[in-house]
Structure 1
Amino acid sequence: MNLALVLQSGDPVLLSTFSLLVLMSVISWFVIAVRVRQSWLTGRQQRKFTRAFWDAKNWEEAISLAASHDSPAARIAHAGGEGLRHYRAQEGAALGRSVSLDDYLVRKLRNHLQQETARLERGLTWLATTGSVAPFVGLFGTVWGIYHALLGIAQAGNASLATVAGPIGEALVATAAGLAVAIPAVVAYNAFVRINRRFGQELDGFTHDLHAQLLTEVNHGVR
C-alpha cells in the first residue's frame, strides 16, 4: 500500500480529501496539546489557590489572593467579592429593594460558574466533530478512489484479481487515514470530558462554600 502512489495518481477530489484529513489532524493535535497544557496548569493553580484562599486570615486577604491568581476558582471568588461590594453599595437603591442578597449572590456566582465551565470546554467541539466526521471523509475518499479504479479497469479491459486488487487496495488508504484522524480525537475528547467533569465538581463545591462564606461576611459587617 503506497500512499505516495495514491497521491500521485489521485485526482483533485481525492487529493482534496487527503488534504482535509491532514488539516483536521493537525488542528486536532494542536487542540489536544493546548488542552493538555491548560488542564495541567488549571489543576495546579486551582489546588494552590483554594488552599491559600481558605487559609487566609481574613476576607480582605482572601479577596486579594483571588485578584492575584489566575484560576477558575479565583475568578469566581473575585466575582463573588465584587458582587457583594456592588450589592452593599446599591443597598439603598432599586437593586437592593428588588432582590435579596442571597438571590443576588446565587445569580452572580451561577453566571460566573457557567462562564468558567464554558471556558474549560473550549476546543472539545472540534474534537467531537473530528471524531464523528473524519471516518466519513475517509470513506468518501475510498468510494471515490474505487470508482475511478473501476473505471480504469473497465477501460483496460482486464478484470483479473491482480489488476483489481492493487487500485482497490490503494483506495482503501483513505478509510485508514480517516480512522487515524478520528481515533485520537475521540480518545482525547473522552479524556478531557472526564477531566472537565472533575473540575466542574470541584468548582461547584467551591462556589457553594464561597456563597456561604459571603453570607457570613455580611453578618460580620464586610462592605
Structure 2
Amino acid sequence: MDPAAVSPESFNAVTLFMRADWVVKLVMIGLALASLWSWTVILDKLFRFAALNRQADKFEDAVASGRSLEEIAQEAGERPRHALPRMLQGALKEWRDARGKSGQSDGQAAFLIQRIDRVLDTIIARESQRIEEGLGTLAIVATASPFVGLFGTVWGIMHAFQAIAIQKNTSLAVVAPSIAEALFATAIGLVAAIPAYIAFNAFSTKAGKFAARLEGFADDLSTAIQRRLSERV
C-alpha cells in the first residue's frame, strides 16, 4: 500500500475486509456465519427457557391450589408439550391401571412406585436432552472461533510480510494496514467466541436447574401416589 494513501478510513471494518487476502476473507466469513449461528441458538434458548419456566410456574401453582390432580391433568390436553403435565399424566395413568386391579399387596404397591419412577425418569431424560439441544453448537463456536481467527491472523501476517518484502519498504505506514487486516480476523474470532462461551455456561446452568426442577416435581408426584396407596390399605 502507498503510505500516502493511508488514512483513518483505511482501518474501518469494510476496508480491512476488502483488502484482506482471500484466505483471511474466508476465515472472516466463516467466523461471521458461526457468530450468526450462535446468536440464533442464544435467542432461541432465551425465549425457550423463559417460556418453560413460565409454564412450569403456572402448572405448579395449579397443582398446589388443592384441585384434583385428575382435573389438572385433563385440562392439560391429550398431548401437552410441557414436561410437567406429561409427568402428571404418566403417573396418573399408572395409578389408574393399578387401581383397576383388586387388592394391592405391599409388593405390588412397591412395584407400582417403581413403574411410576421409571416413567418419570424417562420423561425427565428426554426433556433434559431436548433443552440441551444447541448447547453443543455454542461450545464448538466458543472453543474453535479463537483458533480459527488466529489461523487467519497468522496467514494474514505471512501474506503481509511477503508484500512488505516485495515492496522493500518497512515503514510503519506500510506495515500497519497489513497487520491490521490480519489482526481483524482474530478480533472477529473473539467476537464470535465470547458471547457463545458466556451463553453456553449460562444455559448449561439453566438446563441443570430445570432438570432439577423436574426431578423435584417427580419426587412430589411419587410421594402423592404413595400417600394414595397408603390410604387404600
TM-score, normalised to structure 1, is: 0.86
- C-alpha distance in 1 between matches for 2:206 and 2:96: 33
Equivalent residue letter for 1:41? A
Equivalent residue letter for 1:160? S
Name structure 2 gaps, 5 residues minimum: 1-10
1:60 to 70, 73, 92: 70
Counterparts of 1:153-192 in structure 2, within 5 Å, are 153-192=164-203
Asked if 2 retains the 8 angstrom alpha-carbon contact of 1:56 and 1:62, the reply is no
> What does residue 6 of structure 2 align with?
none
- C-alpha distance in 2 between matches for 1:216 and 1:62: 18
1:115 has 2:115 as partner? no
Name whichever of 63-72 and 174-183 sits farther off.
Answer: 63-72
- C-alpha distance in 1 between matches for 2:168 and 2:97: 83
**Paired positions, count:** 216
TM-score, normalised to structure 2, is: 0.82
> What does residue 47 of structure 1 align with?
57
> What does residue 24 of structure 2 align with?
14
Name structure 1 gaps, 5 residues minimum: none
Equivalent residue letter for 1:5? T
Which structure carries more relative contact order (alpha carbon 8 Å, separation 6+)?
2
Asked if 2 retains the 8 angstrom alpha-carbon contact of 1:146 and 1:167, the reply is yes
Percent sequence identity over aligned pairs: 36
Counterparts of 1:20-31 in structure 2, within 5 Å, are 20-31=30-41
Q: Which deviations, in whole Å up to 9, do the C-alpha atoms of 1:29-63 show, x marking residues without a partner? A: 11111111111111111000011023243232132
Shift, 1:87, TM fit: 5.9
**Alignment CA distance shift 1:88-1:119 (3 Å):** farther
Indicate the SS of the match to 1:172: helix
Shift, 1:178, TM fit: 0.5
2:224 to 192, 213, 219: 213
Shift, 1:216, TM fit: 3.0
- C-alpha distance in 1 between matches for 2:93 and 2:33: 44
Indicate the SS of the match to 2:67: coil
Asked if 1 retains the 8 angstrom alpha-carbon contact of 2:63 and 2:72, the reply is yes
Shift, 1:215, TM fit: 2.9
Report which of the two structures shows the higher radius of gyration computed on alpha carbons.
2
Indicate the SS of the match to 1:57: coil
CA RMSD after TM alignment: 2.5
Asked if 1 retains the 8 angstrom alpha-carbon contact of 2:149 and 2:188, the reply is yes
